[in-house]
Amino acid sequence: MSEHTETNHRSAHAGENEITITRVIDASRELVFTAWTQVEYLAKWWGPNEFTSTFQKFEMTPGGTWEFIMHGPDGVDYPNTNTVIEVVWPERIVLRHDLFPHFVATAVFEEMDGKTKLTYSSKFEERADVFEKVKEYALPGAEQTMNRLEDLLAHAFPRG
H helix intervals, the chain:
29-37, 39-45, 128-156
Length of the chain: 160
CATH top-level class for 3-156? alpha beta
**Domain range list for the chain:** 3-156
Cα angle for residues 147, 132, 75 (degrees, 5° grid): 55
Q: Which of 112, 58, 105 is nearest to 86 (CA)?
A: 105
Residues 79 and 103: their CA atoms lie apart, in Å, by 15
Of the candidates 87, 18, 126, the residue with the CA atom closest to the CA atom of residue 4: 18
Per residue of the chain (160 residues), what is the pLDDT tens digit? Answer: 445 444 557 788 787 899 999 999 999 999 999 999 999 999 999 999 999 999 999 999 999 999 999 999 999 999 999 999 999 999 999 999 999 999 999 999 999 999 999 999 999 999 899 999 999 999 999 999 999 999 999 988 776 5
Q: Cβ atoms within 10 A of the Cβ of 88, count?
A: 12
- The answer to whether the beta carbons of residues 122 and 103 sit under 8 Å apart is yes
